[in-house]
Amino acid sequence: MKTVLALVFALLPFSSAFGQEPEPLPAARRSGGMPLMEALAKRSTSRAFDAKPLTTQQVADALWAALGVNRSDGKRTAPTSRDRREMEVYVLRSSGVSRYDASAHRLVPVASRDLRTVQSAQEFVYDAPVTFVYVADLSKMSDGSRAAKEATASFDTGFVSQNVYLWCVSEGLATGVRSWVDRDVLAKGMKLGPDQWIVAAQSIGWPKR
């Protein structure tokens, strides 16, 4: 049934979030948590999620762990090749789609449609309350072929997603990253330009009991 609904939604026009104000996020909690070696020992990929929502604080912490600003010079928690900062994080929730503005630590509304059920044919991700979609702005990578740029963006995405994996372990949450996503539907719903390439998605939620 969910697959049928996803196909129906994919054929509908996506509503705009134009006019909505950016959503400020609480400051990320930068201390505490699980020791690094323990988090590495417990890191795993989940394919079952509880639909229980995450708190705003948890979303803020996860985004900062992914790609937040951690130094006064604007550099991030995850490295990017030649510091080109081509990576962006989009957030899919029931309320719609937002883009993480790392410099201001806020969410910028993009669309009011819930894209969680059209992101992939893998139905286990539909229950996750939050999905991060990692997008590379290839226009910030001025040299090399598109294939070379996509390869670089892929390993930059690995840095970002691993940060989220370790944060989820520390927070007691489940997560799983995947490259199998419906890029055409998501790109339309997220209003991406031709130089914005969806690399992967990572769903986050409570473990399914």
Kindly give the pairing relationship between strand 49-50 and strand 106-111.
Answer: unpaired
Helix (H) or strand (E) holding 109: strand 106-111
* % pLDDT > 70, the chain: 91
What local confidence, expressed as pLDDT, does residue 19 receive?
56
Banded model confidence at residue 136, pLDDT cuts 50, 70, 90: very high
User: Given a cut of 90, is residue 121 above it in pLDDT?
Assistant: no
Model confidence at 117, in pLDDT bands (50, 70, 90)?
Answer: confident
Residue 30 has pLDDT above 60, yes or no: yes
pTM: 0.89
pLDDT tens-digit series, residues 137-166: 999 998 889 999 999 999 999 999 999 999
Rounded CA separation 54/172 (Å): 12
Mean pLDDT, rounded, for 5-17 = 44
For the cut 90, the answer to whether the pLDDT of residue 71 exceeds it is: yes
- Give percent above pLDDT 90 in the chain: 79
DSSP 8-51: HHHHSPPPB-TTPPPEE-PPP--S-SS-HHHHHHH----S-EE-
